A and B are shown apart, each in its own frame.
Chain A
């Protein structure tokens, strides 16, 4: 395979256009498929020896959990420590009344950011209360506080190390890549095997997902300190640790603030998955809503997550700013920082003491409730009743005409042919190194004995990505060319990107039942906002001079877009495709919860049925490998390594807007 890829890459240098190479590759592939169809396939076997071996590992862990020294003296104390932390933070938050908490949050944002933010933060918290989700939100906050504190305690030192040591950065980068591509879902089983269900597992699952940005951005911050500054300090006789403490850390402070902010956002995005292993809070509300197909409840809980995200984002984003100026403008009025601080402290004190005196308690009054679930549920029911038959027809048409044929080709082709063709694509699109990584990863999927299901998942990802890109590029270009469209899409994108991915499953299930179509639809809805945003930014970045020149030379609107804007925005398109692939994969896997079958289902099943534990672990690893394959292929010609290597992948999940801006 690598030989084929090598030959193809060499042809690049002899300048055969890439599209000709791709067509040639597909042509050869098609001929070989027709000739060899049905040979060297890897039919799925639930009783594969590897799965049974993994089950055996599980049995061993369960039998030895209480006697093996590693469990007794290392893992047990870790679990107990995190449980203790959880209890302490829960207890501390329960001591302050809800009025007190709102006052504290409001005054922090007043002092650190601005009075507008203070109003926004207090208003958001009030809205959460009115949605009757206060208790759940506080439970979620506890999880976020704990996992973020630990993620930063581990991540920032590692980030500093990666910022100062090239070799460490090289070692750690691929590990971080894997941590972020790997759907969270994939490590629930092993985690609960080791730490059982409960706060410890939930915190650690969140930590694994949320830590990479802390490391990456801290490293970026340290590396952003100008070399001359460091040299100057060294030449003045500063020791290594002095350079770190007095020069690098202070200068990188702003960037490290961004790391804190991103870590929180990432942590928030996985609380629903953490709920599967008994993390209470908003995630649990969403899981229960999904189990009962209560769309309205899911949206309410999703909205509370968005509001909480906004509160935490606004407060922590200020940490990455230089801090408010000494004289603050409150609307047209100017006050000194000192005054603001005093006002803030007073508000917080009044809130806390007032809440205590009035005995308000930690729970928002349940009587104050604004229900949003009913109109939403009614809406979904209306759609079901009125569009029910149409949606069935669409689902069947697409499934029979598109999904099934593609899936059949992928699962009945010889596995080595599929590996060769995918590696060939990687070689042509990205380069020979990517091709080698891709080939090895695919071969490992074969070794894991999950090939057939991996191909089914691949089919869903391919279809979703193609549709996502088509819609995302169209909307992105439109938004870039029209202020109005951009104004409409931006807030929608913001909300859509913060809303937990699970929420997207529900309307899709309501319309299309449990099927692959549902999983694919949810994945498309989930990935489009990020793609739109990246494409819009890219197209906006095309210089007006170029556009004017093209228009002056008589290009019509279509020509302008196809021949000028899109080629000029190529880099953004590549980043968008890469983001799209990673997001789609994460969502398609979740589709396993709603009839999406394939690897996602295997993971869910492995988590809930003991007999299939081993298959679940193998499938989880298969997803990671598939993620690496898709990521490598879409990494483009390697020209964006500089941007993406460090911060690029932050955008996964949340806030890719910020990342794009930063990058």
Chain B
């Protein structure tokens, strides 16, 4: 044993030294990214096309610092965050920290500075009243340009076969006729209404109560899980009725029909346990912490100017979810093709 020892020892020592040298050299050859969040690997193939979108032109502006963006769990929101984040990093030299949070916990981050920005807010009048009006720790930063619709959707083939389901707009109880067809193993003897993530804005239980429907709300747990359930139902031509919303890259892709219910009027949804109307239209807006808004950061100006269409968002969202692109790659692809739009957002 001992006589082979020296060579092994030498071998081990050489190995250790080699490893260090190799790692040091190769890392010296790789450009060192300055800060974690700004590391944006741009694929070489696209680097040539990147012209404007990659060169910081922020010399005359105040330093940006760190921007904490809440990222809520649906792909449309991620598309907003991808595009805004990319511009903040590459145009204004900001450090962007994405915080993956649910809607309501995001607001909790305003008073402490955990969260600076919510990029796509769906209503939340109660939170706005508390954090904006009462506590004054947050403020509205304008519309995103996206018009939000929440409602109940069924596949087109089902509506074609059962056109009278559309009369739910005047008489929602027509849905009870189809409850048995929407039944699943999870909904007992009632029809299943498939909701999304538990954190999403929903009146569904109140509406079921209010309209007197024989349905049970079952949560898929996430937008992606809902998409999968809907896709699979369409593939198998099985009936499904689901809570869904636009803007949404997926509903733009599959044949879904919005089953309208008696229209929303002011105050018809004040009692959450008993609601006799459809969802209100949502004018999606941005909310920022007061601290961030008054910091003088150029990031605030860009965020307050940020405004695009549902189609824009759907496109970037489909890059991310359907084409499996990274957030930065998806943002860059869109930005390169829409220079005029994003240049209007610059401070």
Contact = CB atoms under 8 A, between A and B. Distances in A.
Given A99-B27, A332-B4, A608 B9 contact: no
A657 B112 CA distance: 42
B198 interface: yes
A362 B32 CA distance: 9
A284 B101 CA distance: 9
A290 interface: yes
Contact of B24 (A287, A358, A513): A358
Range class of the B interface residue count: 35 or more
B114 interface: yes
Contacts of A610: 104, 126-127
Interface in A378-424: 388-389, 395-396, 399-400, 403-404
Nearest to B28: A358
A350 B228 contact: no
Contact of A292 (B34, B75, B102, B236): B75
A228 B280 CA distance: 77
A483 interface: no
Interface string B47-75: 00000000000000000000000000101
A360 B100 contact: no
B198 A604 contact: yes
B168 interface: no
A375 B126 CA distance: 45
A280 B98 CA distance: 9
A206 to B, nearest CB: 17
Contact of B5 (A115, A291, A334): A334
Contacts of A209: none
Nearest to B194: A514
A471 B180 CA distance: 36
B5 A192 contact: no
Nearest to B27: A360
A367 B8 CA distance: 34
Interface stretch (A165-173, A567-575, A593-601, A634-642): A593-601
A395 B205 CA distance: 25
A365 interface: yes
Nearest to A110: B16
Contacts of B6: 333
Contacts of B20: 99, 103, 347, 350-351, 354
B93 interface: no
A115 B12 contact: yes
Contacts of B272: 611
Contacts, number: 193
B30 interface: yes
A595 B220 contact: yes
Interface residues of A, number: 78
Nearest to B235: A388
A605 B198 CA distance: 6
B24 A354 contact: yes
Interface string B207-248: 000000000001111111100110010001000000000000
B222 A360 contact: no
A92 to B, nearest CB: 15
Contacts of B186: 399, 514-516, 595, 597
Given A275-B100, A514-B218, A594-B225, A355 B24 contact: yes
Nearest to B272: A611
A250 interface: no
B108 interface: yes
A62 B273 CA distance: 24
B102 A196 contact: no
Nearest to A277: B105
A291 B104 contact: no
Contact of B101 (A278, A330, A399, A509): A278
B130 A62 contact: yes
A451 interface: no
A608 B199 contact: yes
A99 B30 contact: no
B39 interface: yes
Which secondary structure characterizes the binding site on chain A?
A: helix
A202 to B, nearest CB: 11
Interface string A363-382: 10111100000000000000
B218 A361 contact: no
A161 B26 CA distance: 53
A504 interface: no
Contacts of A42: none
A396 B197 CA distance: 23
A120 to B, nearest CB: 14
A400 B75 contact: no
A609 interface: yes
Contacts of A365: 26-27, 30, 33
Interface string A186-226: 00000010001110000000000000000000000000000
Given A347-B16, A514-B220, A288 B100 contact: yes
Contacts of A103: 20
A595 B218 contact: yes
Contacts of B197: 291, 608
B8 A396 contact: no
B111 interface: yes
Contacts of B95: none
A608 B105 contact: yes
Contacts of B8: 330-333
B220 A334 contact: no
18 contacts: A103-B20, A115-B12, A275-B100, A290-B222, A292-B75, A293-B228, A330-B9, A333-B4, A347-B16, A357-B24, A360-B23, A361-B32, A365-B30, A515-B186, A592-B198, A595-B218, A607-B102, A608-B198
Interface of A: 46-47, 62, 97-99, 102-103, 115, 122, 135, 192, 196-198, 275-278, 280, 284, 287-288, 290-293, 330-335, 343, 347, 350-351, 354-355, 357-363, 365-368, 388-389, 395-396, 399-400, 403-404, 509-510, 513-517, 592-595, 597, 601, 604-605, 607-611
Interface of B: 1-2, 4-6, 8-9, 12-13, 16-17, 19-20, 23-28, 30, 32-34, 36, 39, 41, 73, 75, 97, 99-105, 108-109, 111-112, 114, 126-127, 130, 184-186, 188, 194, 197-199, 205, 218-225, 228-229, 232, 236, 272-273, 321
Given A135-B36, A350-B20, A403-B185, 16 more contacts: A99-B20, A102-B23, A115-B12, A122-B19, A276-B102, A330-B8, A331-B12, A343-B13, A359-B28, A361-B33, A366-B39, A513-B232, A514-B219, A514-B229, A595-B225, A601-B198
